[in-house]
Structure 1
Amino acid sequence: MNFLQNNNHKSDRKAAETPIRMKIILGVIFILFAMLIGQLAYLQLIYGSRFHSEVQKTDDTVVTSAVPRGIMYDDKGRVLVGNKANNAITYTKGSSVTSKQIYNISTALSQYITISNEKPTALQLAAYYLGNSRNYAKEYAKLPKSQKYDSDGNELSNSTVYSTLEKQVIKNKRHYTSREKTAALIFNKISGAYSLSTIYIKNQNLTDKEVALVGEHLSELPGVGIGTDWERTYPNGSSIKTIIGSVSSEKAGLPSEKLQYYLAQGYSRNDRVGTSYLEKEYEALLKGSKTESKLTTKSNGKVTQTKTVYKGQAGASLILTLDSKYQAKVQKKLKSVYSSALSAGAAHYSSGAFAIALDPNTGAIKAVAGLDHNVKTNKITDDALGIINQSFVMGSVVKGAQVAGGLINKVITPSSNTLPDTPIYLPGTPVKKSVYPIGTFSSLDAETALEVSSNIYMMQLTLRWLNAKYTPKTYIHMPSDAFDILRRNFAMFGLGQKTGIDLPGEISGIQGKSYNSSGQLLSGSVLDESYGNYDAYTPIQLAQYISTIANGGYRMQPYLVQSVGQTNSSGTKVSINYSKTPNVQFRIPWTSSELNVIKTGMYRVVHGTNAWGTAHTLKSVKPSISGKTGTAQTFYYDASASKKKNSSSDPIELINATFVGFAPSNKPKLAVVVVFPGLDPNLEGTYTLQVAKEMVEDYFKLNKYAEN
């Protein structure tokens, strides 16, 4: 009985204690809720307006867009490179655009435009298809569990799953309509765009109907707009592009190798830039100043307003030294003569041909043409840039510089320059002689040596110049710096040196070896060097060399851009801001009588009476020409022949044919260079002279010059 009473008292105490605990807990909860409600009320009353403004706040961001690229004119004001304005559909990407929104915009826009000049890849089509959330869910449901979870049952990353879905869609080879293909291209363009950047959705072959349709539905296409794009045009022919160069497409954008450089200069990744030659060399001027627009965006990333704050300025205009009409004639003649050389079998192994015309008094280039010949396919393409990035052993055209060196260093003088015309006999090598038979002349003066292109004279001059010790067929000794002495002399005229022409990619030529493997001077090659049969020079170096002789001894820097200006909005007038000042790089330290020896010799090359004269076919050209011809031995190696059975891989002997000249002979206003490398020595012909003849005649006809 007492036991039952005791148990009842314990139960009563426990029942009494439980409500007290609950009351405490409920009290604490009540206090916490009260504090929370109080804090919320405080925030709402005190900071409510601030939070509301934050939600509604807009951000202003300045974005840029391209302006028309600078125009290039010839020296007569004719447009060489212009711009054609095209309507374009643009898209400005918000800061927080979702894949679903991109899908919707792409699908909607594909109803109004068609992109037919591009084909979407399978990956692009799959990305567009999966941009639809329903399609994504359907494809996701098809995946086996092993492609959703790893071996531990954890979900795979979204990127891994998405990549698997792309492969699955591609594998299914789903059929896409033409509209879906256009939408896929649009989806890819927008997806790849950077936030708050403007891109072109379609900027080629946009029809008036497409512009009208898009314009009517702009309110349904957030971010889409109608704008203007520009593309390069060549009113006077596109062959000049080999000098002018190219501009990257918007799709290609900035070249990867200079990406960081351009980005640091304020470019966007999809900006078009000059990628070669003049377009690249003068990129900073041609690009202009971009248009700046202020984009107003809400906190959700939606663009609410676009306002132009700076209209930008079109790129600067370049006025080139080229005469487009003369340029066209030079190109046409070079192609015509080279084609005839091919037809005659003379140029079968030739790599091409080159021609340059320039003002010797300033260095301004008037025309430049080049051809590249593919020996395997026989295809000919324009290659004007070969004048600065290809070099050849040029032969006797450089003999004027060699005679000049002898005169300047007092080895010979204007009144005493006769040397014996005796061949050079070195041990173990064929006799070194001129083209004409041994014994034709017993001795020659400098003027006649130039007229008949005597190799012997140049070698005899070199032996005296270098104080060489020579015993025929037995012994020859030259100073160790023999090559340096001759090369320094040639370098005064620009031979073997970069000329500094305003084009990227110029090379300095190729120097032959000075010593053999035992460290001994290649003395026989020193003699070859003296008459242009060893080191290789570029055609532009020949142009600088002959101009230096023509103008009396001033080595002028050749150039293509003579002035920079700004074209007005109507395209009718150019305001010049900068004009090129001709640059004298070196003054040849000769006397007028020493120069006269060389000019007389070059005049006689064309107008002389000696039967061994080399350019008498130009005697009738008006105004009169002075110049120098050249030939140099070269070889063609057929690498593929050695891989074929029963095929000879022996080198094929060829010659490089060259001509340099100036006109009029008394007061030169034009210097010309023609190079035909790799001709058949048995079919050399007069190809270089044919080109040079018309280059001179055409120039002075166009410029209405009459020789007194």
Structure 2
Amino acid sequence: MKYIRTQKPKRVKSQIPLRLNLLFFFVFLLLAALVAQLAYLQIFNGEKFRTEVDRTDQTLVTGAVPRGLIFDSQGRPLVTNQANNAITYTKSMGVTAASMRAVADKLVTYITVDTDNLQPRDYADYYLSDSDASDAVIQKIPDAATKYKNDTGKLYTAQTEYVEKHMPTFTAKQKQSVALYKIMNGATSLTTVYLKNTGLTEKELALVGEHLTEMPGVNLGTDWERHYPNGASMTSIIGTVSSEKSGLPSDGLTGYLANGYARNDRVGISYLEKAYENVLKGAKSRTQVEIGSDNEIINSVQKFKGQQGANLTLTIDSAYQQKVEAILKKTFASAVSDGEAANADGAYAVAMNPSTGAVLAIAGEAQNTKSHKVSDDALGVLNRAFAMGSAVKPAMILGALQDGVISVSDNTIADTPIYLPATPVKKSVYPVGTFSSLNAASALEVSSNIYMMHLAMREANAKYSPKVSMTMDSDIFDKMRRYFAEFGLGLTTGIDLPGEISGLQGATTLNGQLAVGSALDLSYGNYDTYTLMQMAQYVSAVANNGYRMKPYIVQSISQTANNGKATATTNVTTPTILGKIPNIQAQIDLVKQGMWQVVHGTNGWTTATSLNTLNPGVAGKTGTAQTFTRADPEDSTSKLLETTTLSFVGFAPATNPQIAIAVVFPNLEADTDGNYAQVVAKQMFSDYYKMNDVKADKNYTPHQVKLKN
């Protein structure tokens, strides 16, 4: 029997395609690479990456220091710093809105803060700092949420607008939290701001101190504010400093930031505080701050304690300044009570050392002619200009002497009034025919307008026929103004205060023709306008025999050490000569003689005899200008009112000048017979004599017509 072997069944071949095998192979390779990379990171570079995780950054944080102090010429403090306890907040990098809100909510359980200046946006910011509240608002504005889902800024704006329209109710405590949150939120990273720096009680201070660890960023500190021991005296000269709340002024913000200021820094915003900002601000403290990987401050080390700002010592004696202010206030009040000052701008006075340019006193009273409220306006001495009248006549004569139209030995001119067509007679205040002729000194004594007009006519090569016509060289305005400018009239003086103006020049033509009548008015101070500081600079140039000095208020700069002790003076102002008038001494002496006769002359028309009792004797020149002002100064279309401006310039002692002064009372009543400028001037000289121990002249005679040099 034959057996048939049964065949084994064929083995089924794998159905896994080649492509899948390749995929598995690649997965294997990727897993191997991943394992290798993990091994590389953990075994070979584990320490490096652990260090990176624990890495900290270092940055430098600056802190404010007290501003420099300001003293008068005798070392009396005019501006000091008053230290106040304060609660501060330093904003960490990456701090969240929620954490700031939590700090604010915690802090209001210990202190109270002002909420008067909160705006609807402030409340909205605080409300949205809660993430749940923010999400709920987003649900209320689905269209905006969809539209601005990729623009967080616009989405947040939409949220705040919604909250402002549907403002929730806030409790008193919550409002205070809003106020604190506003300050925190507005601070830049690593900047310290004040949460409360005034009215902080001992209890509040203690409570906050006990819970500092519970409020990240909050600390106890000290704030400084300006203090004025002399009260309001001179504050308009000293200027003001911005508050921590207002911070840097908007004008010049870019420049401040470029120079290292923080937005909440306090800076001088007017006058001396602004002009000397770089000196007064000091050097900020510098603290090296270490920031962890979570952007929290983990350590800080003070590298530089900071340096208080440098101190200013002024040229002004505050005791003398107060006397000048007092006599100016009293005399202007007298003009008001006399019914002479209803439309007056106010009154101004300045005194300076004619040899150096140092300002000895500066005072001003400004009157609102609608409300008749009077306020301090010392800066009006350099930022307001008036027609000063005959007070400029010494400069006119010195210019004529330079021009050669008169000389020291030949300066007598017929006192003949000027008759122009269709114009009232141009004459002096005294009746026509009072004098047949006058020399230069006598013309100053009686304040002859006629004499000055004839000088202008000679300088202009005028051709004149009474009541018919007058022609002049076309450059007469330029010529007279050039002579006046040698004394600083019509130019800024260069004083170390901002805001000075140069005054206004009147038109040189009328209906296309040279304004010859106005040229005559210019010759005796009844046309162009000048500041009182210019007048003081000008009379000082006469007093010191021809040197135009640059006025200054800051005498020196010194530094205070961190221990509060004064250190050496770092800078002393050196007197600056801006120019020398080209008159010879004999010509200057001639004008000085005339100014002496203004006070000591015996003629019935001598203009300043009220000052001839001062001993030693003074020299000066009065001024009366016919001026105009608006019935309503704020309305350029209101009625023009005719007024009178009274002025005075002078120096003393006449033979050895130590002080030069200028006074003006602008826009008094047109028919005023007041003597206000001379009243102020006399008291200013008298007080200076007493306070500086100026010895009387034993040989002095009130009516001593000849000046004794």
Counterpart position of 2:64 = 66
Residue of 129, 132, 135 corresponding to 1:137: 135
Secondary structure at the aligned position of 2:648 is classed as: strand
Question: By how many angstroms is 1:705 displaced?
Answer: 2.0
Q: Where in structure 2 are the equivalents of 1:337-486 lying within 5 Å?
A: 337-486=331-480
For residues 541-560 of structure 1, what are the alpha-carbon distances to aligned partners after superposition, in whole Å with 9 as ceiling and x for unaligned? 00001111112221111110
Single out whichever of 367-376 and 631-640 deviates more from structure 2. 631-640
1:578 aligned to which of 552, 571, 577: 571
Q: Is residue 547 of structure 1 aligned with residue 540 of structure 2?
A: yes
Provide Cα deviations, 1:84-106, integer angstroms capped at 9, x if missing partner. Answer: 11122112211111111111122
Query: How far, CA to CA, are the matches of 1:581 and 1:602 in structure 2?
Result: 29
Change (3 A) 1:570 1:691: farther
CA shift in 2, pair 1:608/1:572, >3 Å: farther
Gaps of 5+ in 1: 1-8
Partner of 1:148: 145
Letter aligned with residue 104 of structure 1:
A
Shift of 1:156: 6.9
Contact 1:242 1:382 in 2 (8 A): yes
C-alpha distance in 2, partners of 1:77/1:358? 19
Secondary structure of the residue that 2:569 maps to in structure 1?
Answer: strand
Q: Deviations over 1:138-187 (max 9, x none)?
A: 4344x15334334xxx8474434433332333333433223212211221
Aligned to 2:483: 489
Question: Equivalent residue of 2:299, what SS?
Answer: strand
**Residue 615 (structure 2) aligns with:** 622
Cα 1:309–1:246 change in 2 (3 A) is same
- Structure 1 residue 21: deviation in Å? 6.7
Separation in 1 of the partners of 2:393 and 2:467?
25
Structure 1 residues 527-582: Cα deviation after superposition (integer angstroms, max 9, x where no partner)? 11111111111110000011111122211111101111112445453521111111
- The alpha-carbon distance between structure 1 residues 510 and 41, as it changes in their structure 2 partners (threshold 3 A), is same
1:512 deviation in Å? 0.9
Counterpart-to-counterpart distance in 1, 2:143 and 2:288:
49
* Deviation (angstroms), 1:117: 6.9
Q: Say if 2:244 is the partner of 1:250.
A: yes
User: Given residue 659 of structure 2, which amino acid in structure 1 is its aligned partner?
Assistant: L
Deviates more, 1:608-617 or 1:252-261: 252-261
How many Å separate the matches in 2 of 1:642 and 1:550? 41
Which deviates the most, 92-101 or 630-639? 630-639
For the pair 1:682 / 2:671, whether they are aligned, the reply is yes
Matched AA of 1:56: D
The equivalent of 1:6 in structure 2 is: none
Kept after mapping to 1: 8 A contact 2:114/2:179 = no
2: CA distance between counterparts of 1:366 and 1:640?
Answer: 32
1:631 aligns to what SS in structure 2?
strand
What letter corresponds to residue 409 of structure 2 in structure 1?
A: S
Measure, in 2, the Cα distance between the counterparts of 1:649 and 1:536.
21
After superposition, where does 1:595-614 map in structure 2 within 5 Å? 595-614=588-607
Separation in structure 2 between the aligned mates of residue 642 and residue 119 of structure 1, nearest angstrom: 34
Q: What aligned pairs does 1:196-235 form with structure 2 within 5 A after superposition?
A: 196-235=190-229
The structural deviation recorded for 1:235 is: 0.7
Match of 1:164 in 2: 158
The Cα shift of 1:688 comes to 0.9
Letter in 1 for 2:518: S
TM-score, with length taken from structure 2: 0.93
Q: Between Structure 1 and Structure 2, how many residues are aligned? A: 689
Q: One-letter code of the match for 1:406? A: A
SS in 2 for 1:403: helix
| Aligned residue type for 1:548 | A
> Match for residue 77 of structure 2?
79
| Aligned equivalent of 2:3 | none
Aligned-pair CA distance for 1:690: 1.3
Contact in 2 for aligned 1:345/1:683 (Cα 8 Å): no
Instruction: Indicate if the aligned counterparts of 2:388 and 2:529 stay in contact, CA closer than 8 A.
Output: yes
* Contact 2:496–2:552 (8 Å) recurs in 1: yes
**What letter matches 1:463 in structure 2?**
M
**2:660 is the alignment partner of 1:671:** yes
1:22 shift after superposition: 5.8
Shift of 1:24: 5.4
Distance in 2 separating the partners of 1:402 and 1:40: 97
Does 2:702 correspond to 1:705? no
> What secondary structure, in the 3-state scheme, does the structure 2 residue paired with 1:214 have?
helix
Could you tell me whether the CA contact under 8 Å between 2:331 and 2:679 is conserved in 1?
Answer: yes
Distance between the aligned counterparts of 1:575 and 1:233, measured in 2?
Answer: 24
2:562 & 2:291 partners in 1: Cα distance?
Answer: 33
> 1:262-341 to 2 correspondence within 5 Å?
262-341=256-335
**Alpha-carbon offset, residue 20 of structure 1:** 7.4
Q: CA deviation at 1:475?
A: 2.0
1:81 and 1:574, CA in 2 relative to 1: closer, same or farther beyond 3 A? farther
SS in 1 for 2:627: strand
Counterpart among 14, 17, 28 of residue 15 in structure 2: 17
The amino acid that maps onto 1:225 is N
Match of 1:111 in 2: 109
Distance 1:140 1:485 in 2: 76
Amino acid at match of 1:633: Q
| 8 Å contact from structure 1 (residues 657, 684) kept in 2 | no
- 2:706 aligns with none
Aligned amino acid, residue 337 of structure 2? S
- Secondary structure of 2:491's partner? coil
Task: Please tell me whether the aligned partners of residues 393 and 524 of structure 2 are also in contact (alpha carbons under 8 angstroms).
Answer: yes
Shifted more, 432-441 versus 567-576: the winner is 567-576
Change (3 A) 1:603 1:49: same
Equivalent position amino acid for 1:47 in 2: N
Contact 1:75 1:321 in 2 (8 A): yes
- Indicate if the aligned counterparts of 2:115 and 2:176 stay in contact, CA closer than 8 A: no
| Aligned match of 2:172 | 178
Instruction: Give the secondary structure class of the aligned counterpart of 1:256.
Output: coil
Higher alpha-carbon deviation: 596-605 or 111-120: 111-120
Deviations for 1:18-55, whole angstroms, at most 9, x for unmatched residues?
48776654454344223212211221111111111111
Shift of 1:668: 1.3
Amino acid paired to 1:331: E
Matched-pair contact (CA < 8 Å) for 1:623–1:697: no
SS for the counterpart of 2:45 is: helix
- Partners of 2:223 and 2:17 in 1: CA distance: 81
Percent identity at matched positions? 49
Cα distance in 2 between the residues matched to 1:46 and 1:425: 110
Matched, 1:100 2:98: yes
Q: 1:692 aligns with which of 666, 681, 691?
A: 681
- SS of corresponding position for 1:212: helix
| 8 Å contact kept, 1:630–1:657 | yes
Structure 1 CA distance, aligned partners of 2:257 and 2:298? 28
Structure 1 residues 569 and 701: CA distance shift in structure 2, 3 A = farther
Separation (CA, whole Å) in 1 of partners of 2:622 and 2:452: 15
Q: From the superposition, tell whether residues 510 and 203 of structure 1 become closer, same or farther in structure 2 (CA, over 3 Å).
A: same
8 Å CA contact 1:556, 1:582 repeated in 2: yes
Deviation at 1:200, TM superposition (A): 1.7
CA distance in 2, matches of 1:642, 1:42: 85
Q: Is the partner of 1:460 in helix, strand or coil?
A: helix
Preserved CA contact (<8 Å) 1:494 1:544: yes
